[in-house]
């Protein structure tokens, strides 16, 4: 169920990283923060890991959505890798399961969410979203070594780590060579990331129509559905070409 699609863009980015990662100050900037967590999987695959810092573990969740007059929606642009339709939605994750501390890098202050896997990294607060999935002939399932925290039965709960301790308009520093996703936390929009462009995308589930029990708790991703159908907003980051070229030419 879990897979990633290599593209010419991804291959070129990987080659650029191979050339630049031997520069110590560049390698430090390309490391992911310490802790355990998950990120939504882009179509181009999980973010590149510099110098074998760790390996992403795959995880996926299949949700059986409402059969009757399904109101599934998505933004015109969607870079998520998964299965999205009017009867099932499969979301996939890149999960950091090793709690390494050798990078010494912490998640920066800002306004964004990541998916929970183990304890939330410092500075984040826990929250969750509960989906009341289709009742009749429910086909929900899940798998992968990187399945995030939550509850996965005939209904679905996914847990998140969120923070809102900085302005989303102030750029934060994260690895900037390959694409990745964060989740929008507030009504103020997607968090800006230095050296990256950001595109906001949304995904709307059509949840159970009868006796709907959709719920949210704690600090969770921004959600603006109609009360019976969750709609979440994803922030897709892509490297600005000049930074890829600049670092690849340093060697």
Question: Which pair of tokens denotes residue 180?
Answer: 């990745």
Per-residue confidence (pLDDT) for residue 8, from 0 to 100: 42
Per-residue confidence (pLDDT) for residue 69, from 0 to 100: 76
DSSP the chain: -------HHHHHHHHHHHHHTTSHHHHHHTSPPSS-EEEEPBTT-SPP-GGG----EEEEEEEE---TT---EE-S---B-EEESSSEEEEEEEEE-----SS---PPSSEEEEEESSSPPTT-EEEEEEE----TT---EEE-TT--SEEESSSEEEEEEEEESS-TTS-B----SS-EEEE--STT-PPPBTTEEEEEEEEE----STT---EEEES---B-S-SSS-EEEEEEEEE-HHHHHHHHT--
Q: Which of 1-5, 44-48, 123-127, 190-194 has the lowest mean pLDDT?
A: 1-5
pLDDT category at 42 given cuts 50, 70, 90 is very high
pLDDT tens-digit profile of 212-242?
999 999 999 999 998 889 999 999 999 987 6
Q: How far apart are CA 185 and CA 178, in angstroms?
A: 22
- Over 50: is that where the pLDDT of 5 sits? no
Strands 82-84 and 88-96: antiparallel
Per-residue confidence (pLDDT) for residue 165, from 0 to 100: 97
231, 223 contact by CB (below 8 A): yes
Q: How far apart are CA 66 and CA 216, in angstroms?
A: 19
DSSP 83-109: EESSSEEEEEEEEE-----SS---PPS
Q: How far apart are CA 189 and CA 86, in angstroms?
A: 27
Q: What is the mean pLDDT of residues 7-22?
A: 51
Does the global pTM surpass 0.95? no
- Over 80: is that where the pLDDT of 161 sits? yes
pLDDT tens-digit profile of 62-117?
999 988 877 788 888 889 998 998 889 999 999 999 886 566 789 999 999 999 99
Q: What is the mean pLDDT of the chain?
A: 87
Q: How far apart are CA 163 and CA 166, in angstroms?
A: 8
């Amino acid at each position: 169920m879990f897979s990633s699609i290599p593209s010419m863009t991804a291959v070129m980015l990987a080659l650029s990283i191979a050339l630049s990662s031997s520069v110590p100050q560049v390698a430090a900037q390309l490391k992911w923060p310490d802790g355990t967590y998950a990120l939504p999987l882009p179509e181009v695959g999980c973010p590149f890991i510099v110098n074998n810092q760790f390996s992403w573990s795959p995880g996926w969740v299949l949700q059986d959505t409402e059969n009757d007059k399904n109101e599934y929606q998505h933004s015109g642009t969607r870079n998520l890798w998964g299965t999205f339709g009017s009867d099932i939605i499969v979301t996939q994750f890149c999960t950091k399961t090793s709690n390494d501390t050798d990078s010494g890098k912490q998640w920066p202050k800002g306004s964004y969410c990541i998916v929970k896997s183990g304890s939330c990294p410092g500075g984040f607060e826990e929250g969750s979203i509960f989906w009341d999935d289709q009742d009749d002939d429910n086909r929900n399932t899940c798998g992968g070594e990187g399945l995030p925290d939550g509850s996965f039965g005939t209904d679905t709960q996914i847990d998140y780590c969120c923070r809102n301790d900085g302005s989303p308009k102030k750029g934060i520093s994260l690895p900037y060579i390959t694409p990745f996703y964060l989740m929008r936390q507030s009504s103020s929009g997607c968090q800006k990331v230095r050296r990256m462009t950001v595109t906001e995308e949304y995904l709307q589930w059509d949840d159970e129509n009868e006796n709907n029990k959709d719920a949210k708790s704690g600090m969770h991703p921004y959600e603006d559905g109609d009360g019976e159908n969750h709609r979440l907003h994803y922030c897709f980051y892509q490297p600005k070409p000049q930074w890829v070229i600049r670092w690849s030419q340093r060697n």
